[in-house]
Structure formats: C-alpha cells, structure tokens
Structure 1
C-alpha cells in the first residue's frame, strides 16, 4: 500500500474518532498522515476585491443581476454503459472580480477540506464549482482573489485576469508577483490544458498529473470539472459525472476538449475531478458525484459572487 493510500485509510479512522495518534505510529505512517491528512494552516484567506455583488433573481436553471448572468444546462448523451451526463454553466459578467475563489475553512494550507456546497454557503455563492484541490500538493503557483499564497512553479497553469480574459501558462517560466503585475486575479494549478487558441491540445489523453502521488486517475473516462473562456467576461464551467453505469461513464480528456470547442471556448483547462467534481447552484448540489449524490471534501472552490 502506498503512503498516500495508507494516509487516506488512516484519515478515515481519525475523522471518525479513532484513537490512533500520530505519536504512536510508525515513521512511514506518521509521515504520510502529516503530509496528507493533518491540517497545516499557512495563512488566513484574504482578498483585494472592491466590487460588491448586486442582488439578482434566480430561476430553476439561471440567474440574472445587473452585472452577471448564469445559464445551466444538463446534457445526457449515449445510452447504457456509454451514457454520459454533464452540466454546463455559461457565465457572463461585466466585472471579472465577481468570479472569486474561496478556501475551505477560510484558511490556506495543506489538508484543509470541506464540502464545496458548505464553502459556497459561507460566501452566498450564486454558482460554484470545485477548484484545483491545491491543498493536496505543496507545489504550484496559487494566486486567488489577487493575493499570492504559493509560488512554487511546477506545471502548466491557468491564469484568470481582472479584465475577464484567461490564458494557459508555464508556471516554471514566471512567478506569482509577475502574474499579479500583469493583471492576474486567479491562478489554477492542476491540468492539463485542454484548448488553446481555439484548438484542442494534442496528446492530452496520455498526460499524467502528480505521478509522484500515484495520481493516474485523470486518464480514461472519468468524472471531470473544467473551466473555459469563450470570450472576455464570458466563461464556461463544466462538471461531468462519471463512474456510474447507466447514468454517466465520464469523459476522456479529448472528449472534454471537444465539448468546450463545440460550445465556442478558445481556452479550456482541466481541474480536479473524480469524486471531487461538484457544481453548486443557489445553495444546492446540481450534479450527482459518482452516482451517489454525495460530495467529497476539497480545498477550494471557484464561485460567482451574489
């Protein structure tokens, strides 16, 4: 059993009130718990937002305010074991700083988690999706709401700018301060990038993310969360359910990229998926994670302020 798998098993015992203490564990297990389970708070959440959200009106699958609109569509294709179900939310806003990020428990660090719906509720979010689960790793550039929290470039990231634009970038070729100076409001560090300059990126079905953690599950047909840009101020957020025969098998990376292209995206980026994939609208979970209707705790969300 890998250290990370052992840590996940031990975390369940600890969270359920098990009597095992870190001090009494073997070195490898204690290290794994410290690295993957025990909360390490590095900073309280902060932001540089100045725009106030305006109150809007909800419908069953949409939202409208003076500054923003949301439309959500549930799509099911195929049949039997080839059924795919996904939720596509198109957002438009005249102020990109209304697209915000929130951390679990309002704290930045590793292993700090909460359900996406619970995080969204603390922010009165109109719409929210899970983020990049930054707290599972200790590398990457993390800029949220205009504030730099981590500056350890390691992979391809996505930058969301104050002017409503977005771009893929190489984390190892820049730093958090330079990104903020260029107008970046959020960075996301997971991947891979799916679409760039209006074209699907080649080879995305063979990319592995964080292989040192044994995290190969982005390959094949999986539950997905991804974000795309159609044009400045107009975003597409997609959550694909999966691992549920007859309801949704999930999508490959290539299928996910094509979905964004079909809906007009010029840039798209894959976020944390699997059981973490979640979309919350007007306080309620929209999708059906793993066909069980149960969210999984995660580090962070992206949301539309309302």
Structure 2
C-alpha cells in the first residue's frame, strides 16, 4: 500500500472518529438539556387526596363564594390574596420585587401543575400558560424539577420521583411547611405525615424562625455550568408566616429597573415579612408571578417569560 494512501486513510479514520465523538457528546447534551422525556401524563382533573376530602361545609361555602377582586387583590370565602410591588434603592442599586400575601382555609388549595400536564424532563411551558390552562388566579414558577433527574417530587399528594439528593421543602396538609434533607426523610414518611407538595431546589432561607447563615457559599447541585447562586439575581421563593398563611416573593433582576437580590437579601425580605420558614425556588429567567390573567413582574428584565416545568398556583374560589 502506498505511503500517501495510508496517511490519507488514517486522516479519514481520525476525522470520522472525532465526528462520532463530537456527535455523541452533542447528543448527550441535547438528551440531557433539550429532548423531552415524558414519564407520566397527568389527567387534567388530577387533584390531591386532601383536596378530595375537604369537608362538605367548606365545599358548599366555596360553591356559593362571593369573589371580590381587583388588579392586586382577590378574596373569596376560602382564599385571600394581596399583592404589593416594592421598590428599594435607586440607580444601579434599585431592586423591584413583588410580595403576595396568601391566606387559605385549607392547605390543599395550593396546588401544583406540570407543563403540558406531563411529568418528565425538559418539558416546559411559560408560567402564564400553565396557569391559564388550570384557571389559576395566582401562580409562581416552581422548582424546575424537569431540569434534573433526581430529587423527591411529590405533587398534589402524589409521588412522581424518589431520588433523594438535596435539601428540599415540604408543604403539609395542616398548612405548615418545613425544609428537610431528602436523604434523611423517606418519601413514604413524608406521605404518611400528610405532605401535599415537595419542592426540590433550595436552599432554605429561614428555619424555625431563624435566618439560615452562610448563604454566600451556597451552590445548587453540580449540573453543567453550575456556579454559586448567592450573588444578585432574580428570585422566587415561598415562606410561611403561620399555618395556611403564606408569602410568595418574586424579585426582578438583570435590568435597569432591578439588579436582583443576593440570597442573604432575599432571606432578609422573608424575615421582615414575619416568615418562620422560607425556601428559595428556581430563579433567574424563570422568576415569574402571575395574577388574574397577567404576569405582574418583569421576567428576564425584558417582559419575556422563560419556559418552566412546573408551577404552584391557587385556582378560582
């Protein structure tokens, strides 16, 4: 075989192998971050067992409930929602955020919904679209569970995933919430104790009435491109003031109108609001608050929502 031909053949083989390797890497990345993987299609009328067992008097009250609402407030016999827009600082240090004070008669009124009514990875819809599909009065983005393949995911009293990995938060049927270690508390125990929703993101911001310390050094998971999330960013979080009395906070960022908040600043907001428990949810471009048919904040600093895998919401009274 001529030496020249042999060299060319080697080059072709090397190029082919490189193409296969690159193609394999690109496919793995696409499979991890882009390709939809539907595991469960959720019926539109699926609700938690707790929601099904609300006593007859409450159900009767809801059916005849007189709703009073405006652009920032909503009140029915079983739900009150009051939203405030807060602006602090000025210039490059200005922060704009939104606080929703929510009181419900039963914890099961706070529901979760999946994008496209499907559980799995990389399935996304805008928060407002998921909310509209479920006739939500109020909604925020959730924990973006679909970006990862682990975590303990309980939604509306149903266990969808049981892969313990991090510090999560649980919302209970008695109207309380608390952060917990997924690797120390089993999903079976959570369900037995009346957990309706778990959210797997973090970190916890307030526990047992005390601010969590050393938030500057927190990192979330080890996903591709992971970095510390403690610096100023758009934020979404949930807090509890007392049983069945919650606060939801969404912070705008990455715009001239708002620089976002550090985790320490975010935790302080919940503390100032009187929260005894608080937990950080998916933020950045995902941070969205929806109320009465509209998005009230400024997602991504350009009035443009980013698709998410899930929401927390309250429906019509």
Q: TM-score, normalised by structure 1?
A: 0.90
Q: TM-score, normalised by structure 2?
A: 0.87
Q: Does the aligned pair in 2 maintain the 1:218–1:273 contact within 8 Å?
A: no
Match of 1:38 among 35, 38, 43: 35
Residue of structure 2 in register with 1:47 after alignment: 47
Alignment of 1:21-170 (within 5 A): 26-45=23-42, 46-48=46-48, 49-50=51-52, 51=54, 56-170=67-181
In the TM superposition, residue 57 of structure 1 has moved relative to its aligned partner by 2.5
Alignment of 1:147-226 (within 5 A): 147-216=158-227, 218-226=229-237
Number of equivalenced pairs: 283
* Greater Rg by CA: 2
Residue of structure 1 in register with 2:15 after alignment: none
Residue of structure 2 in register with 1:19 after alignment: none
Query: What CA distance in whole angstroms lies between the structure 2 residues aligned with 1:120 and 1:215?
Result: 29
Query: What CA distance in whole angstroms lies between the structure 2 residues aligned with 1:167 and 1:273?
Result: 20
Unaligned runs of 5+ in 1: 1-22
Query: What CA distance in whole angstroms lies between the structure 1 residues aligned with 2:22 and 2:225?
Result: 23
RMSD of aligned residue pairs (Cα, Å): 1.5
For 1:172, what is the secondary structure of its paired residue? coil
Residue of structure 1 in register with 2:300 after alignment: 290
Query: What CA distance in whole angstroms lies between the structure 2 residues aligned with 1:253 and 1:211?
Result: 18
Query: What CA distance in whole angstroms lies between the structure 2 residues aligned with 1:163 and 1:91?
Result: 15
Residue of structure 1 in register with 2:8 after alignment: none
In the TM superposition, residue 35 of structure 1 has moved relative to its aligned partner by 1.4
Unaligned runs of 5+ in 2: 1-19
